[in-house]
Amino acid sequence: MYRDLGYYWLRFAIYIALCLCVGTIFHDVGHSYGSIQARGSMLMFVAAFLTFMAIGGFPSFVEDMKIFGRERLNGHYGVTAFTIVNTLSATPYLALISVIPGVIAYYLVGLQRSIDHFIYFALMLFMCMMLVEGLMMIVASIVPDFLMGIITGAGIQGVMMLNGGFFRLSNDLPKPVWRYPMYYIAFHKYANQGFYKNEFLGLIFPNTQAGGPPTINGDEILRETWQVEMGYSKWIDLVILFGMVILYRLMFLGIVTTVEKVKPMIKSLMVKAAEKSKHIMEQSSFETMA
């Protein structure tokens, strides 16, 4: 992975460039009433589109799966070992692209300055990266074709993004399918809510709406503007994402293991069907000649 220019260094450079763009576009948003929307949009971009860039690693996943298939047939290691080592090998790189580009965007925009807020921001971004990498591994195990895999992965993430609670607030989502269960399946829900809680709680903004109080605090913004679930803390959102990371890796492990067991059975059935068909044709030909 370290020697892969496209997977490692090119993506790292693109993340830095994107975060510089975000940091300069939203530079020093301040604490005006209009900054509420600006902060929400910036955090949504980080949770959605920065993690969407993980799709660029799909070609490397396909190559990894080809190497794994060959070495697995040679009996070098098992599926569990491959899953664990693939996760561990990607962790330092994902931590790097979460911290360095993250600090550029975070402090250029002027989000909450305390170090604990930034640590949570970087942890949440890192967890989203890990989760999307796991999702793309699942896609690579099911759809080995390069082009079809990218299209499938982009489609899955696009649907999740739509149900994340930004483009359409949670109370406005149609309840069949989109609110239940897609809203709770989409990891963007927990990423957005974690980022929002981390940023807005503790802040106070002037209220320019007529007839309202002179100021509005972060708790009211989360409840009324973004419709965030406030029954649990931001750390629970992080824990839920961590659980989804584990779940996606287990799903990958289960899919690869199942394919290994089912594929020989399917080939055996196909061979038997071909032999039976050949036998019937030979018998029919013999009867015709007789």
Coil, strand or helix at 219 = helix
28 confidence band (pLDDT: 50, 70, 90): very high
Number of domains in the chain: 1
54 confidence band (pLDDT: 50, 70, 90): confident
CA torsion 21→89→258→160, rounded to 10°? -20
Q: Who wins on pLDDT, 50 or 44?
A: 44
Tens-place pLDDT, residues 143-179: 877 788 888 988 999 999 999 999 999 999 998 999 9
pTM: 0.88
Q: What would the mean pLDDT of 225-243 be, rounded to a whole number?
A: 95
The predicted pLDDT at position 144 comes to 73
Tens-place pLDDT, residues 64-82: 888 888 888 888 888 889 9
Tens-place pLDDT, residues 5-26: 777 788 889 899 999 999 999 9
* Cα–Cα distance for residue pair 5/50, rounded to 1 Å: 19
Q: In angstroms, what CA-CA distances link 122 with 6, 66, 110, 216?
A: 23, 33, 15, 27
The pLDDT > 90 percentage for the chain reads 53
Statement: residue 290 has pLDDT above 70: no
* Cα–Cα distance for residue pair 265/242, rounded to 1 Å: 35
Q: Are 163 and 183 in contact (CB under 8 A)?
A: yes
Q: What would the mean pLDDT of 120-141 be, rounded to a whole number?
A: 92
Gyration radius (Cα) of the chain, Å? 25
Whole domain around residue 10: which residue ranges? 5-289
